């Protein structure tokens, strides 16, 4: 029984450390809530946007919708045609362009061997979205 006190102390320390470690792990947000947030900050559909040779990142919102980050403050909500296997599990994505621009109904994203035509492009007011998220205490997407 002389081991009971040190064992209880070790268990208490372990739980304290576990709590401290998990405090820094972000909570996974509801995918529908994230999608709705992007939708609320998206403008009217546009025909195209200028592509400067690269993009900074992307975030899948569902099977046929994604956000494409073209710079630190610019992003576009893209709707693509099926069959575009679940974008949420895709590890990489390519993007076609025509004459230095990406056009709805002409250009595509490619992932997992699928070529998915871009049906709709909507520019996001990404600066306003980040400001709204800061005010709500929600971390902005990494983009």
Average pLDDT over residues 36-62: 90
Please report how the helices 31-40 and 126-136 are oriented relative to each other, as an axis angle in degrees rounded to 10: 130
Domain-embedded: residue 25:
no
Structural domains in the chain (count): 1
In a domain, 41, yes or no: yes
- Mean confidence (pLDDT) of the chain: 81
Q: In whole angstroms, give the CA distance from residue 66 to residue 141.
A: 13
The answer to whether residue 6 sits within a structural domain is no
pLDDT at 110 over 60: yes
Structural domain harbouring 60: 31-136
Domain assignment present for residue 105? The answer is yes
Per-residue pLDDT at 138 exceeds 50: yes
Q: For residue 48, tell me if it sits in a domain.
A: yes
Residues ≥6 apart with Cβ < 8 Å to 132: 41
Give pLDDT tens digits for 70-81.
988 899 999 999
Question: Is 128 part of any domain?
Answer: yes
What does the pLDDT read at residue 71? Answer: 86
**Is 23 inside a domain boundary?**
no
| SS3 per-residue string spanning 51-117 | CCCCCCEEEECCCCEEEEECCCCCEEEEEECCCCCCHHHCCCCEECCECCEEECCCCEEEECCEEEE
Write the pLDDT tens digit of every residue in 53-98. 778 889 999 888 999 999 888 999 999 998 787 677 888 888 999 9
- The verdict on whether omega for the bond into residue 111 sits within 30 degrees of 0, i.e. cis, is no
Asked whether residue 37 is domain-assigned, the answer is yes
Greatest CA separation for the chain = 79
């Amino acid at each position: 029984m002389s081991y009971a006190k040190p064992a209880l102390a070790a268990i208490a320390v372990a739980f304290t450390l576990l709590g401290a470690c998990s405090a820094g792990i972000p909570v996974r947000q509801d995918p529908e809530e994230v999608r709705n947030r992007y939708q609320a900050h998206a403008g009217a559909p546009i025909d195209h946007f200028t592509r400067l040779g690269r993009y900074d990142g992307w975030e899948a919102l569902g099977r046929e919708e994604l956000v494409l980050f073209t710079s630190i403050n610019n992003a576009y909500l893209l709707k693509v045609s099926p069959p575009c296997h679940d974008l949420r599990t895709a590890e990489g994505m390519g993007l076609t362009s025509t004459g230095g621009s990406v056009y709805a109904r002409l250009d595509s994203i490619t992932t997992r061997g699928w070529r998915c035509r871009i049906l709709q492009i909507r520019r996001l007011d990404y600066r306003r979205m980040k400001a709204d998220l800061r005010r709500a205490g929600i971390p902005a997407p990494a983009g």
